Structure 1
């Protein structure tokens, strides 16, 4: 194939003949390598001496020449850097002929096939990176006997199989060995690895390693990074690990290691990060571990560790992150813990730690999160914690704490969660709480708090949950609390509150739970409660309420309703006379229903009957008008639809009606000829098949690449039913809905619809081709490791901008209704575009009602499933799930999540074990503050209440703020409409 192309070049470009004939050997081999690859993005287009004769060979992009040869008549190539260029095909063997090549980087492409033997014979090769591709099969054994100069090799994130390539330990000069995330057969880590004495990086996470860690690892005196996480290693951590005198990071989490944490690690002067979480380690934490002078982060959570936390913890001079959750630790914490440490994150939850909270935890003024729930702590909360203005989250429930909360602690300015439930704390809520402007959750139930609820609670602009049940609060419910429009849950059960319920509760438009049972409240039930749109749990039982049950409460969709044991009287509203509410009104002898309230019921029934009659009449008239409209529509279609429909009905299948939305260089014959070969199928869904089509073949062999969606003849029954809603009725199917939407919108993050074709019941949609397929396939198809943190963040921003355009810049706004990772497509540069508008729908300012649910399992917003009303916030929820997929690497639903969906799984994991426990291990190198901020945006977007979710325009802004460099770049770029 290559000689033919070269001949065509000589014939078509005579001026390039001399240049091609005199090419140095290395550059002739580069052209041969280029010809062997598929370069859809034309990243190597400049590799052509005939098209750019004035360009020095050593200035070809993605190349570096050796310094000694760059200016000579026969330059030699020293580096070939082709990372992340969307190249496909098998490894181009002509590259093996580059005898001076020192660095070869083909990482993060879509190359496949087996690894070539010839690489091992390259005499000058020092750095080889083939990570993030689809290479398969076994690693050639020649790799163990060759590579005379190799220093680094990375084959991570491929599909390599067979036994673990232990023979790579024979490459004696090796400094970096990166084989992570390949599906090798279960294999032990060989002892011979300890003989590669120059090794600095050993990254073998997710390689299916079994058996014990070899003791020879301790011989690697130059090792800086040891990562054996996410394998099936068993046995003890070898004590020889204490000999890794250069090691900075040790990652052993998510294995099946047993035994104790070895002694001697305190002598590791450079150790900063040690993570052996999620194993079966037992015994006590060695005291010398905290003497490692640079230890910053220690994660030993979810093990079976016992004994006391060593007193040496107080001497850990660099420690800022300590997580010992879910062990069996006992005893007191060192009283000066934190005095000498720049502590930021402390999680000791689910142990049996006793004694008092050390007053020195925030001595460095950096403590942000204090999580010691479910232990046996006693005594008061130290006054010093009230001065710790950096705190954002405090969780101390289910201990034995007593005394008053430090007054200043109520008003910490950055605190968003204060959880003190299940203790014996006393005193009152201090007025200083007015300073807690960021407080979202105040959870203080099951204590001994007293006094009146302070009116300052009404000044908190972000308060979502106030849970203070089972205390001794008295006095009236503050009227100022009705001003808190963010309130979602209010639980003040079993206190001594008195007085009437305040007026103005209609402002609680986000309230889902109101529990004021077991108090001494008087007066009537406010009619305004019936105006709260999302209230689903209302308990006012065991009070002294009087008056009637407001008929307005019938407007609520209540899963829990109880007003028993009050002094209510009068006739029950008709809705509440049913069997399901029989226990909701007990202990109110003045209430009546049935025969004793027959007159009132007949009067109300008469009013309802009149309304029903009028409604029925209106519906009848509307139905007749609808039938007449449909008949007129069908008549018009029959009179104007002969542009191919009649021919199709007569058996002529060659006539296609083409509607173009952009200027195209191809016609229907180009498209139809590509649909005969089933090898071109790149996807199949409920609506039809998607083909990759190369159009307009010419003498140069290059043509436009498009994606063609061929819809099933019946439209796909499930998809078609949903698409009827997308078009607002009228029988529009997937084809009509998608054309109606994509045909009128233009945005760089919305997939481009070139044209559509119709012939009878056959329909084709022609889109721009996205070479990296769908986000879902890439992320969950074994190549999630290829998407590093910057790429994942960029995908979030791109997709968010596309949805923001639909919601905010289209008139009327468009709701996608099926946002999911498989409907976000990636181009050659991993830039994202939103696709598949078969069930999209334009909506007005009021929520639109639909008769069926569109969307995919795990992505559907909770209110959509039971109200059948769609708003832009439904898309926001679905996009939040996509963000969680990118952050966790998990599917939105599946066996690994148990009975939960992804949203609940993440929330539960974060609550129990912190943010890091839910993040994708492949994002371990990502900045912790950025991934945490992104997770906050995702969780905010998946709030159970639509009103709590941000708009898509706000989501874009929040995501840009996650990574400052992305925000600066976005400000430099003008929005592109295509």
Structure 2
């Protein structure tokens, strides 16, 4: 500015011209590299960064692009909301060293084989995208590759043998895909993973790998730290060669079908060991020389019956010991509880007997002792011990006295919510969220999913405070624009993984720019970037959504568009953009300070209760919602209920949502609105419909959910949706729904009862995964383990004991779920012609005949003529146990999940879904070329014979 004031107009114009000429000469991008990016922009990718304008990616500093000598060397576009396919053009960026497309869930299709042309590539991550098909064999030609992350996609096929050529690789992650086949090792004609002697991480969990773990995979030359093969279909024994790898720190082989004797002697560096839910036999392995062990879980195996081994007490670093259902017997030694770091002991469902005495030298960190379903007859009570003690199912629980406190089904320590540790008002202001430092901003939000941790108890807030501080310090040391971090809502998912909600708040502004956002999300999934986060291990980061820039950065996009409109006057326009941006920012701050608290008008007279207490949700304006639904057009109505109507909406950026709008003046609507907004802001699970935000303005109460595209389970069973569900797919939907409910019951503190479980509240997404919806009648369970209230729910699904006692518990949801299971079997509604489905099935069953003779009487015709109905009898038995009249005879939802998992494994899931057009009789079977005649339900059973009406119980 000072220089320009000293010059005349001609000198200024000359200087500008000279600068532009130098700029044009000095900052050129290789024409071939520019052609690749142009092809991606024009033909393949949507939602590209707004800075990708002009013809010089290197000189114009396109976001996510770094160059050297006019060649593109880095593409870091993590979490940018990219949509489309990755074409073969990417193979022409031959100078590329780092390619990070992670957390772009709308990137689909196959990875192109031409990716093997990127010979200089050292880092490749597509974690958290939606790529499918086989993993290209050509990746094995990337000899410089150090880091390869393909997790959380939809890849199928086998692990390529060619990966054995990646001799510099230290990180290989294929977690959470559909990869099958055997683990490849080298042979006379092909390389294999055993050649990767320098690798440190094998992360193969949550796939469909089968066969044995090849002994050849391990050798004394390897530097392996992690062997994570959990939740696959591996069989055979654990090879003894694994003991040759003395560097091993974590072994995770749980949830397979491994058998035989276990020998892990000599692995003195081991810190975590997971062997649960296999078929292991022989003597229990001796782990006494593993002084670094912190976490041991060998539950649900068939080891030889034995007393508690002495080495249990010798592990001084041990925090967690889980040995449920391992044939332990005899007395419990006092020394078992004395290890200084011990927090959790789970020895339930064994044959331990005699007197329980934890002594006086027990660990003061001990928070849980679970000895349910044993033969304990006496207890020497220690009044100083304030942790949880579970003795249900022992003979001692038949006695009266103080001991009754330990015989309650559910004792869970209160889990602190770190999101509530700051005292600032966290009400919505201009769609922003309050940080731990009481600054309103737009954070990066998502979930940290830890593959293993060295503790079981989730109640110690110091762990999470330490994690927040560690992550913040690490980001700031890398000069990344992070002000503060909040972790909250700690929980374990159905596979036992610890999940934490994560919010990362920006510094120096109320939002991240694209470069900062991408660098942070990229680093979150670069596990090697972080120092050891004891007691937290490796993790995946799951980004909440890809709307960050399409929703929040309109003003900055305007500036960029203006700046790109006249290249010849770039400097002048940059100045103009800066002025416009500053003006817009000032005006936005002024608007934000004038906005009213969205809940200021909440009814405080007691009818609707206190104002909602929420965190992490977006606050939508009425105008935004109105625009997204085309002024609440009838054409966008996708459902109705006692609460109001549900509309399909399209937000800025093309994101589809479901908008639940309360009827104006509805008191019940106010109560349900508050219930759903509070509960769903606290929880997150892939089998629960996610709440994205809300709108609360005078006279309007609306909830904004993720859009679930295939309607309800009720619509599919009835044929209304046009989706024909195979038997295997019905089992999968039942499992999805059960997992969602089990999460509410057993992984949320305090637990949540849904209270309106029914087939119309199970929604199906585009992959036909089941999601539990509609939490308007849900309640938190207090210390009494039940809720007393007027009966809520839908006739036909209501627990009869709840109806009589007015007390609802988790077992009330189990009953309702059992009715849904019977719907899946019969295709009928809960009540027809005054006949109750539970009674109808009981009368029709004949356990002496094949399929209980149901196929000839009441089995849904859609599946009755299938060539196989594997697991039907077990599914029927489980459903009838769920609908037992007495709650005590019903299983828990977690037990239901385990049984359906076993049934589904028996059924060998194949053809996923069969579609039936509503307008004709064409039959399309996904994953199968088999065509069969279609039974038209409307012809087989006239609509008059299946009257259906839901009676809401108020």
TM-score range relative to shorter protein: 0.3 to 0.5
Q: Indicate the structure whose relative CO is greater, using CA pairs within 8 Å and at least 6 residues apart.
A: 2
Q: TM-score, normalised by structure 1?
A: 0.44
| Rg larger in structure | 1
